[in-house]
Structure 1
Amino acid sequence: MSRLISKRIDELAFFNPSEKVVEGQTLKKIPMENLNIWSRKITGFVLGEYKSGSKFRNNDVLVAKITPCLENGKTAYVDILDENEVAFGSTEFIVLRPKEGIDSNFLYYLAISPTFRKRAISCMEGTSGRKRVNESTLKLYDILLPQEKQQKKIANVLLALDKKIELNNRINAELEAMAKTLYDYWFVQFDFPNEEGKPYKSSGGKMVYNTTLKREIPVMFSEGVLDNLGQIVGGSTPDTKDSDNFCIKGVPWITPNDLSNNQGNKYISKGEKNVSDKGIKSASLKKYPLGTVLLTSRAPIGYMAIARKEFTTNQGFKSFILNKGYPTDFVYYTIKNSLSIIIQFASGSTFKEISTTVLKTVPIVLPPLHIVKDFTNEIYSLTKKQNILEQECSELRNLRDWLLPMLMNGQVTVK
């Protein structure tokens, strides 16, 4: 085991370092929602007038200090700014800037390590649901860490895994854009290949006006509704106070929160919990097959995923079982293309929700099945690669999360 040294946390990093910013100045702003769960990468920024909030530069580390963002792992490394540029963000960030002798990437991995997180969570104060880290207390904690020469080596190992995850995510975003563009080209612009392989509408293919859809569609297409795509089903929740309703090796039980944590991914294999046979029976849950398309129907409406395996859900979903001849990818993109109408059809005073009855009636354009199958064959290689890369990312995250505490506590060393 590598020898560790003990240091106080405020000996490793400056907390919320001072930056000169003029009030009212327009700067890049990073809201809390631009920090993904357990992701090093910041997803973007908006421009805003500075009035208050945390201030930071490249190579700083942002740590969410409010519940549940801290517990959920919202911690990020700032690397999206220009040289010497200062940005600002949520008042609920703790900004950590490495002191001399501390590698900035190592500081990020220290901030997501179980030891640091336990320290931070133990410093939380306030009422339930609004607890925040007391930074003055957190600063005073001692923490064991590897010696300086090992810190950079550890950071480089973990960073290599994160860089590969980021690369896979960028590739998948491009693949998704290509697949969505092809769907729009075929079924929104109606330029699918005609019998001569030419774009149908642009080449003079016959179009007819549909009074229900209030638009022109190809003569061989028809009006339809989402109910035509498959059987729309809901879910339910077993008694969460009865631990026997859930088990480690049960059937995946998916909630909207699982899809929220899964954003950026098209497929889903599991949720936070698995439901037992007893839980399935007690809540009259049904098991839905792989390939089913999930759609959150409330709080919020519109998160989507494709199931990789048999699963169940809570009542926050309307899922589409593919039993009417239409393949998964076509159903997925048709629902996605209809989201603005689905949200428009939703109702409710406390929060918007769309019922199964209403969802079934959302109008869509229905192409002939042979054209749909040609489309799915066309994008097969894209979606197959997406699925493979997402699973690879999951394996890389598991490896990173397994290595992280052992590297930090000296159980594993880097030669």
Structure 2
Amino acid sequence: MNLSFFRYLGIVNKVLFSIMEVLNNICLDIVDCEHKTAPIQNEGIPSIRTTDIKNGFLDFKGSNKVSEETYQKWTQRLEPRAYDIILAREAPVGQVGIVPKGQRVCLGQRTVLIRPNKQKVYPFYLLYLLLSREIQHKMKVRASGSTVEHLNMSDIRNLQLPDLPSLKIQKEIGDTLGNLDAKIENLRRQNETLEAIAQTLFKHWFIDFEFPNADGKPYKSSGGAMIPSELGKIPEGWRVEKLGDLTQTITKGTTPTTFKKDFVDSGINFIKAESISESHTLVKSKFAYIDEETNIMLKRSIVQEKDILYTIAGTIGRYAMVTSSSLPANTNQAVALIRPDFKKIDPEYLLCYFASITYKHYLSSRIVQAVQANLSLGVLSDSPITIPEQRIKNLFSNVVVPIFSKKESHQMQIETLTKTRDTLLPKLMSGQLRVKE
């Protein structure tokens, strides 16, 4: 064989190997966490756990906090800075989030800090590349091969990536997807603020009883009359009723398999407990689907607009109001379907009541701890609800109903933007679509 043949092989090998890139080669550093549990504090610097990493973002609201001393100790090897990426080594394996500008953080257990080399890769491009279906699949395959599902540091450093486009194209793609996610996150935060406003008003009026009296002054602190009830003293003219007496129905569904029916790829939305988020919204990406025939067979649990769904098995106490965008829909036995009688109670009032500490404590003391924790429909139906006089009900509705309407509008925008992002992500990453198109 002559030299030209070997040169040809060299060229072929160079082309073949250039198709794939290794994560370690495009990063300045990839650092494991300290493998220690952070002492929990109410104030301090966030320590990011795997559960705080969610689809590109870091959840600081629910994270543990550490002292300045602990922070300095845990960041001696590498102090996280803006646009570093944090990856979860264990459940949820492969989730990544980016450190925002101006935010101090340290690594919690089973997390890894990835510092992109900005001369080779744009941080937001790398973030979305790691979130892409192809790379997520690679990480999960590696993790599932372990006794305990996790990624080891070698797996992460040697993670093979597709050949990278130019930094200019990387920036165009990263910024396009980043802007969409920023809009989504902004809407989510607005919804959290709206929720907090509604809950603060509810507590002030219906727990502290400082609603405006006839003169516009705080009722209780202005000497408003109080009367005894099973829930303690309540304002004169108010009453306590059972939830079941304020609703058209409280029921639950079942699974299609009970009728020897299977789930389908598309059709009627089937809402499960996992479809209801902690932020009181329905997560459509976690819906299953049934066909029309099955839906009719499960007619007892066909969901209507303004119904409230409340989880009563497994993870108990999550709830959400059904909006038109989630219909048609049905649900299963882990979710209670509560249909308010609108002549007696507003669903928005019930949503706020369900969030109150008093109501949560009442129900939590009545949970049955069996193979799977559960709450019976009977307990839910018999749960006491404080009902204010009509004037206060009307005042509260006038303020709160628009808040929930705004939340619903934001949620619909979030769903549209999320769908757009999820459609663009694989096309942009594969080169099938360019930003200018």
TM-score normalised per structure 2: 0.81
1:248 matches 2:266: yes
Offset of residue 343 of structure 1: 0.9
Give the structure 1 partner of residue 21 of structure 2: 7
* CA-CA distance at 1:172 after TM superposition: 1.4
CA distance in 1, matches of 2:32, 2:322: 47
Which residue in the other structure is 1:238 paired with? Answer: 256
Question: 2:70 aligned with 1:47, yes or no?
Answer: no
5+ residue gaps, structure 2, are 1-17, 40-44
Q: How far off its partner does 1:135 sit?
A: 4.9
- 2:292 is the alignment partner of 1:277: yes
Which residue, out of 73, 77, 86, partners 1:62?
A: 86
Query: If each structure's strand is expressed as a fraction of its own residues, which one has the higher value?
Result: 1
8 A Cα contact 1:244 1:278, kept in partner = no
Residue 340 (1) aligns with residue 364 (2): no
**Corresponding residue pairs, total:** 398
Paired position in structure 1 for 2:228: 209
* Alignment partner, residue 195 of structure 1: 214
What's the counterpart of residue 365 of structure 1?
A: 386
Cα distance in 2 for residues equivalent to 1:354 and 1:328: 21
User: 1 CA distance for matches of 2:280 and 2:135?
Assistant: 28
Question: Of 362, 365, 388, which aligns to 2:409?
Answer: 388
The question of whether the paired residues in 1 share the 8 Å contact of 2:107 and 2:113 is answered with: no
SS at 1:414's partner residue? coil
Q: Judging changes above 3 Å, is the alpha-carbon distance between structure 1 residues 351 and 369 closer, same or farther for their aligned structure 2 residues? A: farther
On the 8 A contact 1:247/1:276 being kept in 2, the answer is no
Percent identical:
25
1:162-201 mapped onto 2 (5 Å cutoff): 162-201=181-220
**Structure 1 residue 353, shift from structure 2 partner:** 1.5
In the alignment, the residues of structure 1 paired with residue 35 and residue 403 of structure 2 have an alpha-carbon distance, to the nearest angstrom, of 48
Q: How far apart, CA to CA, are the structure 2 residues paired with 1:203 and 1:76?
A: 50
User: Distance in 2 between the 1:25 and 1:115 partners?
Assistant: 33
Task: Let me know the Cα RMSD of the aligned residues.
Answer: 3.2
In the TM superposition, 1:76-155 aligns within 5 A as 76-79=97-100, 82=103, 87-91=106-110, 93-99=111-117, 100-126=119-145, 130-133=148-151, 135-137=153-155, 139=158, 141-155=160-174
Q: Does 1:257 align with 2:269?
A: no
Residue type at the aligned position of 2:434:
T
Q: Which residue of 2 aligns with 1:298?
A: 313
More helix by share: 2
State whether residues 125 and 134 of structure 1, in contact with CA within 8 Å, keep that contact through their aligned partners in structure 2. Answer: no
Shift of 1:349: 3.3
Shift of 1:203: 2.9
1:29–1:88: 8 Å Cα contact kept in structure 2?
yes
Aligned equivalents of 1:208, 1:282: Cα separation in 2: 48
Q: For residue 349 of structure 1, what is the aligned residue in structure 2?
A: 370
Amino acid at match of 1:57: P
Task: Report the TM-score, using the length of structure 1 for normalisation.
Answer: 0.84
Letter in 2 for 1:226: L
Tell me the distance in 2 between the aligned counterparts of 1:318 and 1:25: 37
